Structure 1
């Protein structure tokens, strides 16, 4: 076997390995070659609390993530894949109490911000992957060393990053 024949065989084998049942990427996405577009609607803020810009922040984060990690074209409506939903809850709850000094009340030393997002995913090509479920994540912070007013937006972004990843994995990565 000469070098040219060997190279051709290697090329054919390697190209065959990359064309299985779908298109795979380093992000773990498994998207059918028939799927070309995605539409992501605005995630409205239905939570009673939280920063006023959560709707815009989450919607832009999820759009950016899908554009950066898939080859899907983002369209306004009727994509092959469709995602919509809303921010359903935002809470700040005490996690760890600290005893106050004489005559002072006890207070929370550690608090938790929890955000829940309800998402609906529709795969027009294969409805067996469709879902309608809630995704939630939290961030703990120390009340003694954290100024919530100045750090809240960074905490919300960190929580949204995880929720976007969870939605991505549940939809196109099929995890």
Structure 2
């Protein structure tokens, strides 16, 4: 019985271990290094910590899920750069009395991804995410939390586009 088990699963193990580019996140990683540039701020509204927070979220998501080594040189296998192009607060909910009940913070970033190992995977794309907050709260009181939540969503979107090929 044990020999049958070994003969059945040994070839499967050899095939899967030989692939080398698959991870349990579904990501396809062929390279070893990545250069993640600090996001620029081109939005009309400027929040001092915004670009560093977004860059850190993207860097954390990619490095924790891929095992890539971060570098700051132009000869990295992957290169990500971008800019915050939108940081807007709008009304997202209104009562019968025409009074705002909810506001929405929307952050938009344009990202350029270069894959030096497979140029067909290169992209330049805009990503946008939002989070709602009560109109009774000031933006300043919820801003840090909203930026963290939206940043995590944007980091997931960028990771999926760059490495998961969904």
TM-score (norm 1): 0.86
Superimposed CA distance per residue, residues 79-135 of structure 1 (whole angstroms, 9 cap, x where no aligned partner): 1011000111100001122355xxxxx431111100000000000011000000100
C-alpha displacement of 1:25: 1.4
Runs of 4+ in 1 over 6 A off after TM superposition: none
Structure with greater contact order relative to length (CA < 8 Å, sep ≥ 6): 2
**Aligned CA-pair RMSD:** 1.9
Q: Which runs of 5+ in 2 are unaligned?
A: none
Aligned to 1:149, which of 120, 140, 146?
A: 140
C-alpha displacement of 1:64: 1.2
Aligned to 1:90, which of 64, 78, 87?
A: 87
Aligned to 2:45, which of 49, 66, 69?
A: 49
Tell me, yes or no, if the aligned pair for 1:137 and 1:163 is still in contact at 8 Å.
Answer: yes
- 1:26 aligned onto 2:18: no
Q: Which has the higher helix share?
A: 2
Q: Equivalent residue for 2:61? A: 65
Q: Equivalent residue for 2:150? A: 159
Superimposed CA distance per residue, residues 123-157 of structure 1 (whole angstroms, 9 cap, x where no aligned partner): 0011000000100000011112x342121110011
Q: Which runs of 5+ in 1 are unaligned?
A: 101-105
C-alpha displacement of 1:65: 1.1
